[in-house]
Structure 1
Amino acid sequence: MTAIAEPSITAKPSLSRAPSLPALALSRGALELKMFFRERDAVIFTFALPVVLLILLGSIFDRAMPNGPEASGVSSSQLLTAGMIAAGIGSTGFVNLAIGITSDREDGTLKRLHRAPLPPAAYFVGKVILVLVTGLIELAIVLVLGALVFDLQVPTDPTRWLTFTWVFLLGVTACSLLGVAMSSVPRSVRSAAPIVNLPFLVLQFVSGIFIVPISLLPSAFQQVAALFPLKWLAQGFRSVLLSDSAAALEPAGAWEHGRIALVLGAWCIGGFVLCLTTFRWQSRKDG
């Protein structure tokens, strides 16, 4: 009896799908974090700077004004704590990102990435992920320090934390986009640090980060600060972390949540437009 052979079944070759943009962006973000945490000196300096400034300036201001600003239950060091959170986001999003991208451009990383199949958006989202993670770590450090050393009362009201979330996200987005746009200004990585740090240092002073309350500053400085996101970012964090009586210390005598959202949102749009119109994948010497 002759056996009847069964027809062979040939499996169809599976078509490999290209990774999606979110997957590529997450992968790039993980790579950015890995490279950042490998640089121990940069990690220590990034997270130690706000701690040192907060301890030094908080102690000085509380000694200079033992009764605190003219708002019940609010001390100068508590005002400074909220401002240092904003400064930390500005530093990681604007300063570090601008200098880091300038370095990527000079060593040819951007040129190689631009020619690779990696979507450009994945590179930028990866940078934003780096800012988000480092910003959250700085935030946690400053909050713990403020609570332990300066009696800052961490809020328990969910509404305040909702405000904190949208202020944080808008601030990170605006500062990151401005950092990307600013990276096209320095001609080399050697000149990047002074070029980027100078305007940020000035903004910290006029935005009421180091001088508290901000109403102590000359009105001309306050008007300049109102044009930029750092002042509104600090004001948003003060509205979350301080008592409602502290609103009297603001120039308008109120927290102005609507204006905070408007200014930060406008800078997100403006920063995006600046990135589209000014960003360069190659250094000037490459043409």
Structure 2
Amino acid sequence: MTTTLPVQPAKTATPAPAARMPSAFRLALARGRLELKSFFRTKGQFIVIFSLPAIMLILLGSMAGRTPGVPGVTGAQLMTAGMIGAGIMSTSFQNLGINIALERDDGTLKRLYGMPTPRIAYFGGKIIQVLVCMVAEVAILVTVGVLLFDVQLPGTLDRWVTFAWVLALGGVACTLLGIVASSLPKSSRGANAIITLPFLVLQFCSGVYFPFSNVPVLIQHVAALFPLKWITQGMRSVFLPEQAAAAEPAGAWEHPMIALVLAAWCVGGVLLAMKTFRWSRDA
């Protein structure tokens, strides 16, 4: 008598689990590290961005005297507060706008668009780079002002809080404007001029180098439409004595208005960036 053994079913190979894509947050951090390495390795860009505002502050501040209409405040102290505001816009709006325009022109953005990674990671990396550069720029300018021009660091908690929210809202608003402005140049050749020119004009209209009340009234109204005027006003409220508020056109620091305008630019910047941003120069 023969015994029939049961037939064992053939074993099928278990497929290996698919590799899990890193989260958008982790990809943004990785992109941010890459952006920072690239920035600090470009020595010419690194030196100009961090040294030029400090050199301008040292030269112009050394030639400035007392500020008319602001008792106890020197021109150098007023200029330090203004240059801190300009430094925020320089590292966000100007630097970011030019770099994105260059990356669009050389095809970097088009290649990133075709990769299977969240596109938000690209912007997250740029924001990390802007944040690091902005904090470093502000620290340099504050140090120059304290050491050379007797600028006083905020002595109360509320002033530090004001410094923090003006820095944050101003940085976000100018970063978003930089993303929007990056779509204006048709090629990399015109990026520097198209983005730098309005920034230079705004500096002279927004009270960076002299009291804002000395600016013609019509130009004051135009400057008040843009973030830089409100950023510099916020920084003056942090680093200048309280009596300096009398020299402002409204006779006060207007903190609620500063917050409202900068927040509005943050919201408007998001909408404009979503509407205008292009991943390719042919789009």
Shorter-chain TM-score: what band? over 0.9
Show the counterpart of 1:188: 187
Distance 2:214 2:72 in 1: 19
Show the counterpart of 2:146: 147
Q: Which amino acid in the other structure matches residue 194 of structure 2?
A: I
Q: Which amino acid in the other structure matches residue 44 of structure 1?
A: I
Q: CA RMSD in A?
A: 1.6
Distance 2:257 2:67 in 1: 27
Q: Which amino acid in the other structure matches residue 183 of structure 2?
A: S
> What is the Cα deviation at residue 280 of structure 1?
0.5
> What is the Cα deviation at residue 14 of structure 1?
6.2
> What is the Cα deviation at residue 12 of structure 1?
10
Show the counterpart of 2:98: 99
> What is the Cα deviation at residue 73 of structure 1?
2.4
> What is the Cα deviation at residue 16 of structure 1?
4.1
Q: Which amino acid in the other structure matches residue 242 of structure 2?
A: D
Normalising by structure 2, what TM-score?
Answer: 0.92
Show the counterpart of 1:223: 221
Show the counterpart of 2:35: 32
Distance 1:91 1:129 in 2: 15
> What is the Cα deviation at residue 71 of structure 1?
2.6
Q: Which amino acid in the other structure matches residue 225 of structure 2?
A: L
Q: Which amino acid in the other structure matches residue 146 of structure 2?
A: A
Q: Is structure 2 residue 230 aligned with structure 1 residue 232?
A: yes
Distance 2:61 2:29 in 1: 38
Show the counterpart of 1:84: 83
Q: Deviations over 1:213-247 (max 9, x none)?
A: 11111111111110000000000111111111111
User: Which of residues 41, 46, 56 is equivalent to 2:44?
Assistant: 41
- Three-state SS of the structure 1 residue aligned to 2:64 is helix
Sequence identity percentage:
55
Distance 2:124 2:179 in 1: 11
Distance 1:241 1:16 in 2: 52
Show the counterpart of 1:128: 127
Show the counterpart of 1:261: 259
Show the counterpart of 2:176: 177
Show the counterpart of 1:116: 115
Q: Deviations over 1:52-76 (max 9, x none)?
A: 11012112222xxxx4332332111
Q: Is structure 2 residue 17 aligned with structure 1 residue 17?
A: no
**Gap regions ≥5 residues in structure 2:** 1-13
Q: Deviations over 1:79-100 (max 9, x none)?
A: 1001101111111111111110
Question: Larger deviation: 49-58 or 223-232?
Answer: 49-58
Normalising by structure 1, what TM-score?
Answer: 0.91
- Aligned 1:43-82 pairs, distance under 5 A: 43-62=46-65, 67-82=66-81
Distance 1:205 1:252 in 2: 19
Show the counterpart of 2:279: 281
> What is the Cα deviation at residue 15 of structure 1?
6.0
> How many residues are matched?
271
Distance 1:282 1:181 in 2: 14
Distance 2:88 2:224 in 1: 18
Q: Deviations over 1:123-180 (max 9, x none)?
A: 1111111111101111111011000110001113222111111111111111010100
Distance 2:215 2:60 in 1: 17
**Gap regions ≥5 residues in structure 1:** 1-10
